[in-house]
Amino acid sequence: MNPAYVAGAAAPTAVYTSPVPHTPQAVAAVRHRARAPLTTWGLSEDAVEEALLVVSELVTNAVLHALPPTELRLCLLEDLVRIEVADSGTAPVRPGGTFAPVYCGRGDAVVGALAVRYGADIRPKSVIHWVELRAQPSGRLQCRRVREGDSPNRCR
């Protein structure tokens, strides 16, 4: 059963899928390709940016921590956008493959702050990580000038 189709849930009005190459460089390319359907579906620029942030986080996690093949799926569901990244499960830990805590671990908090719902569907040979966002921006990702000398926009 596809997780986007749960009992009583509306079928998607639009769907976009894209394979994800299993390289770190794929994240930017997948994010770039995902912009077109989100914009075509009529999402505001802020809602598109929130969705792309989630796409980046889920794809990055799949590329760094899971086995290929990996696929991105975007679904427009009434007033929600569902973002799914399917992979073949957790990759074995690589020697020297740990990352400094300062660089990792913040994505889950960001996704959790933006999401209406999120989770993972674990299957025998695959895992689908999914996030549902409002089709309109949450207002939780705000950029503003902090003080003179800082970069023009800093997200809080």
Mean pLDDT of the chain: 80
pTM of the model: 0.77
pLDDT at position 78: 83
Closest CA to 47 of 55, 56, 38: 38
- The arithmetic mean of pLDDT across residues 8-25, rounded, is 86
Return the beta strands (E) in the chain as ranges. Answer: 14-20, 70-77, 80-87, 117-122, 127-134, 143-144, 154-155
State pLDDT tens for residues 64-91: 889 999 999 999 998 899 999 999 988 6
User: Residue 55's pLDDT is what?
Assistant: 97
Helix pair 107-114, 45-65: axis angle to 10 deg: 140
pLDDT for 24 beyond 90: no
| CATH superfamily for domain 14-155 | Histidine kinase-like ATPase, C-terminal domain (3.30.565.10)
For the residues 103-128, what does the mean pLDDT come to?
A: 86
Residues in a beta bridge with 1: none
* pLDDT more than 90, % of the chain: 56
Tell me the H-state helices in the chain.
26-40, 45-65, 107-114
